[in-house]
Structures are given as C-alpha cells and as structure tokens.
Amino acid sequence: MKGRRVVVTGMGAVTSVGHSVAASWESLLAGRSGAAPITAFDVSDYSTRFAASVRDFDVSPYLSSKDARKLDTFVQYGVAAGIQAMEDAGLEVSAANAGRVGCAIGSGIGGIGQIEKNTEIVRTAGPRRISPFFVPGSIINMIGGSLSVRYGMQGPNLALVTACTTGTHNIGLGGRLIAQGDADAMLVGGAEMATTPVGLGGFAAARALSTRNDDPEGASRPWDRDRDGFVLGDGAGVLLLEEYDSARARGANIYAELTGFGMSGDAYHMTLPPEDGHGAALAMRNAIADAGLPVDAIDYINAHG
C-alpha cells in the first residue's frame, strides 16, 4: 500500500457463534455452526426457515437501555464490536488526537427492522405515531456516529455501502485514509441484521438462500456440487487500524499489517457474477500489486464479501 504503513491493533466481533472475537474464534476452531431455526418471528410460510442469527445478545455492557431502544439492532451490533475493538487496542482519544481518529463502518441493508416496524405503525396507528428516532436510528452511518460521540472522534466519519463487500471496502477506505495522511487511526468494518420478515422474504424470493431446513448446520457448502444457496447471517466485525509508527510509539499490540488493497467491478449483472470470474480476479490482482507481493505469498483467499 502506497504511503504510510497501516496496522491492525484492535478487534471486535458479534456473531452467531460468539459475542466477542475470542468466543467466535473458539467456536470456529471447534467447528460449531451458528445456523439454526429462526424463532424470532413466524417462518412457517417461508421456503427458508433458518439463519445464522445472533442469539441471546446482551447489549447492556455497551449501550444504556434508553439509547438501545433508539437504535436498530444492526447499529447495536456494530457499536458493540466497535467498543470491543477500542478496548482491545487501548487507544485513548484526547483533545490532542481527536481530529486524527475516525470511523468507516457500513452495512449492506441497514435498519430494515426499524423500517418494517414503523411501516406497520403507519398502517395501524398513523404517521403521527412514528418514532422521532426512526430515521437516525436506522440509517447506516449511525454506527460510526454513535462511536464518534462516545469517544469524541472528530476525524473522517464515513460509511461505504456495497452490499456483501461493505465491510471489506470500509477496511480498505480506512486504510487508505491513514496511508495518505488523512487520519492516524480508523475504526473500520461492517454490521448487519437482515433476518427479519422482509429481509428473509426478499432473499428467499430471489432464490438465493439454502432451503436445507432439515439440516441448517450443513447448509453452508459453497464448494459442494449440491449447494443450493447461502445461509443468511447477522452480526458485526470491527477493526481498529492505526498508522504503524504511532502504534509502535504507544506500545500497541499489532495483530497484522494492511499491505495491499484492490477493487474492481464486474459490469455484468445485477446479482450474478460472470462465469469466468474476471471481476474478482481483477480485484485480487490489484490487491497483490498494491502490496508488492508475489502470488505464491498468498496463504488464504476469502471467496465472498
């Protein structure tokens, strides 16, 4: 990556298999799946009746009950993951550095739950009963907004939205802002809570979801010849990125370095990727070139999102 070096110093996660990075990682190593039957609403008329939902999440360590009521669930997940990342990194935001610390945290769909809820309120009780917090509590940039208010961050505050690649693009954006000198630290990532009646129904109508209702834990099988769709999931993942020298100077624990980032577009279809994968290949080539690495140095490929 051209410019200043960028490193990861903090991590936070709320997932279907754990409400922290440590718990989620332990579940992954144990091979535990988060896919299970949906119980939050009646799914008897849906072709897909399971999801990788976040269950039994306690938001009280992160938000007061008053504040939590104002915010869509995806914002709650994102704020929780952001707080975890800040606490993990141990970064103190002060008057001296506030203007150099920012956020780039997005969501693919945003507050669809709040949209459903307030649409029903309009239908049954009229528009005067809509919550005054509906708009601010459901818009995608409210994760970064909430975290910036909490910590006094006055640097760049952005929220890229690019469907399934939202979180990755926000990581790249935050890294580039640090590399080119617009910030010294950025909270970056994404959050989602799309397992709602309309969210589930929309993906099911597109025939995008697996319908293995008798085997939720075995439904996610992207490389299987018998695959039949993806598994809808909810949660959040947030990293704290910092400029390398400032992170070293304060004695931060450095997990990794962001050495390259690449982007592309398929220019092919609304939802389907091209069979030859030229768009994905271009993004990977751009990232490898940005990092200045040989192809055989790549150990892992994340195939989606």
Our CA angle for 80, 84, 86, nearest 5°, is 115
300 contacts: CB under 8 Å, gap ≥ 6: none
Tell me if 42 is assigned to some domain. Answer: yes
pLDDT (0 to 100) of residue 159: 98
CA 95 to each of CA 131, 230, 266: distance values in angstroms, whole numbers, following the listed order: 34, 46, 44
Tell me if 98 is assigned to some domain. Answer: yes
pLDDT (0 to 100) of residue 303: 85
Tell me if 284 is assigned to some domain. Answer: yes
pLDDT (0 to 100) of residue 37: 98
Let me know whether 132 and 217 are in one domain.
yes
Tell me if 1 is assigned to some domain. Answer: no
Tell me if 146 is assigned to some domain. Answer: yes
Let me know whether 200 and 242 are in one domain.
yes
* Listed residue (209, 234, 236) closest to 220, CA to CA: 209
pLDDT tens, position by position, 165-199: 999 999 999 999 999 999 999 999 999 999 999 99
Question: Strand, coil or helix: what is 238?
Answer: strand
Let me know whether 223 and 280 are in one domain.
no
pLDDT (0 to 100) of residue 305: 73
Q: What is the count of structural domains for the chain? A: 2
* Residue carrying structure tokens 């708009």: 135
CATH code, domain with 116:
3.40.47.10
Tell me if 111 is assigned to some domain. Answer: yes
Instruction: Tell me which residue range forms the domain holding 234.
Output: 6-261
pLDDT (0 to 100) of residue 184: 99
Question: Strand, coil or helix: what is 235?
Answer: strand
Let me know whether 43 and 17 are in one domain.
yes
pLDDT (0 to 100) of residue 163: 94
Let me know whether 231 and 294 are in one domain.
no
6 contacts: CB under 8 Å, gap ≥ 6: 175, 178, 179, 241, 242, 243, 244, 257, 258
Let me know whether 99 and 133 are in one domain.
yes
165 contacts: CB under 8 Å, gap ≥ 6: 305
Which residues of the chain register pLDDT less than 50?
none
Let me know whether 243 and 287 are in one domain.
no
Let me know whether 179 and 207 are in one domain.
yes
pTM greater than 0.85 (yes/no): yes
